[in-house]
Amino acid sequence: MHVADQIIDTILEAGTDTIFSLSGNQIMKIYDAAFDKNIRIIHTRHEAGAVFMADGYARSSQRTGVALCTAGPGFTNALGPLFNLKLSESPVVLITGDSPVADDARGAFQELNQTAISAELVKESWRLTNSSNIGDVIREAMILARSGRHGPVHLAIPEDMLTEPAQPFLFSLDDITDRGGYEIAAPDLTAITRALDSFDKPLIVTGATIAPNRCHDLIKLLSENHHIPVISMTSPRGLRDPMQGKLRDILKSADGIVLMDKDPDFSLGFGSPDIMPASGVVVCAAQSETVSLCNQVFQGNLIWGCSADPIQTMKALSRASLLRRSSSWKTSVEKLLAKRPDAVTIKHKTAQITQITPALIMQGFANSIDPNQPPLIVCDGGEFGQWAQAGLPNPMVMEARTYTNGISGGIGGALPQAIGIAVANPDQHVVAFMGDGSAGFYLQEIETARRAKLSITFIIGNDYRWGAEVEIQKNRYGEDRVHACDLDAETRYDLIAEGFGVKGKLVTAPDQIEAAMKEAFSSHGVSVINILMAGMAAPSF
């Protein structure tokens, strides 16, 4: 058995059954090793698409995503999504081929110091040059991506290492797993529970690792056991995200806040007392840097700070004995979270509305799905992505089934992310919402979805512009200075879809929306709905 075989065996041992990859010279030995194994390779059209697919797979499956790319330009192509993944706290291992160790510093084909480039974009970045421990390092990387604050890990593996004989593992997988999840110390847990008992209106605010679409059952258990609301901050629009309802009012009403592995960053107004006036703040984080930052930001209001695995801590809190409190505070928070700006509730009245608006699209979507068995949802960034998030029906239900572009604010990833989600959830239909701007980033991966025989509907809200940037130009520089951010209706995304061998539908009138969606949702396979709509600023309170 060679190192390449050991890599595949280790990925399978960790529970991951799919690799998202674009082939290349230095990784073909890994392809060969996968031939006789029960593992699937989804071959993509772009390395960045492979990384975003691994992201969607990981965030929707409780498993570690794996992307595999070749050296040189293959590696540099894969870099784009890593910033998104790091801020989205997505547990992905990126494995890249590398030039042979034997040719180091000799100008080998595609020789590049990969780890120096990727280091700032991942939790850890290693070049593996000793074949005797590669199996253990692969194991450790798979666990590291899912330990503490989740995030991407990068491994560069020289081509000549892959053909070396595999060596026995030095550590068992259980040993590595035990190191991965460090439970909260008893004194820290006691301090947090005492603080929660002292608050009349406590609030737990989490980062992306404990988002509802990843930890729904855990959040529900803690919240229902103790009647304490839990809010996850995963949006680049922070307090202005319409999917978070009246979040500002909630933060102002809470008298005590527990930051569960959540930095007091821009999404929380940097912890300003105008935004978070709570007299008591507690922080528990995987990284000591977060605790130190909170100590600076909240000064005298920080009751306790500690480091621990956030998921393990949430589990411990759900089992803890807390003073019994009424459900009134939790209920009031849930009502505020479910509120949406008035524009989102526009109804479809054909006699008065002849042009399609984003609100009409989302109304059509709500009318086209089974509320008891809704599809999995992916929303890209930009103005239409915000309309989609704000217009989803049953917010408290859909939050556990919705994936967004994450706190980085990067756009374009929804299309490949939807592919990864569909691979991880083959029994469910996936619907991805994106504007015409963000659709263009990875449009070619529609063909990947078809080859993989997935069940996905891509809905493109086409307003012939880069919507977010147009709104910035209007607001900052004036209506008469909008320029260079326009697209047009001549690009027929529905016809492009047909060229890739999938169903394409053009929607130009409000009364066509529901029919197009119902047809797409009722059939297995890939489809693209190109909806010509009015360009509108994202809804906000």
Q: Which long-range contacts (CB under 8 A, 24 or more apart) does 72-75 make?
A: 72/109, 72/110, 72/111, 72/112, 73/110, 74/22, 74/24, 74/47, 75/47, 75/112, 75/114, 75/117, 75/118, 75/156
Yes or no: say if 291 and 193 are a contact pair by the CB < 8 Å rule.
no
Handedness of CA 80, 86, 88, 94 (dihedral sign): positive
Coil, strand or helix at 328: helix
Q: Please return the burial class of 169, using the count of CB atoms within 10 Å of its CB with bins 0-12, 13-18 and 19+.
A: middle
Q: Domain residues of the chain, as ranges? A: 3-180, 186-338, 342-532
For the chain, 541 residues long, give each residue's pLDDT as a single digit of tens.
899 999 999 999 999 999 999 999 999 999 999 999 999 999 999 999 999 999 999 999 999 999 999 999 999 999 999 999 999 999 999 999 999 988 888 888 888 999 999 999 999 999 999 888 888 999 999 999 999 999 999 999 999 989 888 888 776 766 655 444 588 999 999 999 999 999 999 999 999 999 999 999 999 999 999 999 999 999 888 898 888 899 999 999 999 999 999 999 999 999 999 999 999 999 999 999 999 999 999 988 999 999 999 999 999 999 999 998 999 999 999 999 999 887 665 544 443 446 899 999 999 999 999 988 899 999 999 999 999 999 999 888 899 999 999 999 999 999 999 999 999 999 999 999 999 999 999 999 999 999 999 999 999 999 999 999 999 999 999 999 999 999 988 999 999 999 999 999 999 999 999 999 999 999 899 999 999 999 999 998 8
pLDDT value, residue 506: 97
Distance of CA 534 to the CA centre of its chain: 28
| Distance separating alpha carbons of residues 473 and 535, to the nearest angstrom | 14
CA distances (Å), origin 158, targets 25, 115, 375: 11, 12, 41
Yes or no: say if 22 and 47 are a contact pair by the CB < 8 Å rule.
yes
* Topology annotation, domain 342-532: Rossmann fold (3.40.50)
Q: Return the half-sphere exposure (C-beta side, CA atoms, 13 A cut-off) of residue 532.
A: 14
Distance of CA 177 to the CA centre of its chain: 23
| Distance separating alpha carbons of residues 270 and 281, to the nearest angstrom | 14
Token digits for 385? Answer: 């992505």
CB within 8 A of 367, min separation 6: which ones?
514
pLDDT value, residue 352: 42
| CB burial readout 257-268, b (16+ within 10 A) else e | bbbbbbbbbebb
pLDDT value, residue 168: 81
Yes or no: say if 293 and 322 are a contact pair by the CB < 8 Å rule.
no
pLDDT value, residue 299: 87
Side chain identity at residue 495, one-letter code: L
pLDDT value, residue 494: 97
Angle CA 135–137–138, to nearest 5: 65
Yes or no: say if 43 and 28 are a contact pair by the CB < 8 Å rule.
no
Distance of CA 364 to the CA centre of its chain: 25
Yes or no: say if 296 and 318 are a contact pair by the CB < 8 Å rule.
no
pTM: 0.94
Side chain identity at residue 48, one-letter code: A
CA nearest 89: which of 475, 404, 447, 338?
Answer: 404
CA distances (Å), origin 511, targets 236, 255, 282, 352, 365: 33, 48, 51, 13, 12
Q: What is the DSSP secondary-structure string of 245-259?
A: -SHHHHHHH-SEEEE
Helix H, strand E, coil C: the string for 58-93 is HHCCCCCEEEEECCCHHHHHHCCCHHHHHHHCCCEE
pLDDT value, residue 436: 95
| Paired residues of 232 in beta bridges | 206
Same topology between domain 186-338 and domain 342-532: yes
CA nearest 19: which of 62, 63, 60?
Answer: 63
CA distances (Å), origin 448, targets 52, 221, 422, 537: 13, 38, 12, 32
CATH superfamily placement of domain 186-338: TPP-binding domain (3.40.50.1220)
* Topology annotation, domain 3-180: Rossmann fold (3.40.50)
pLDDT value, residue 181: 59
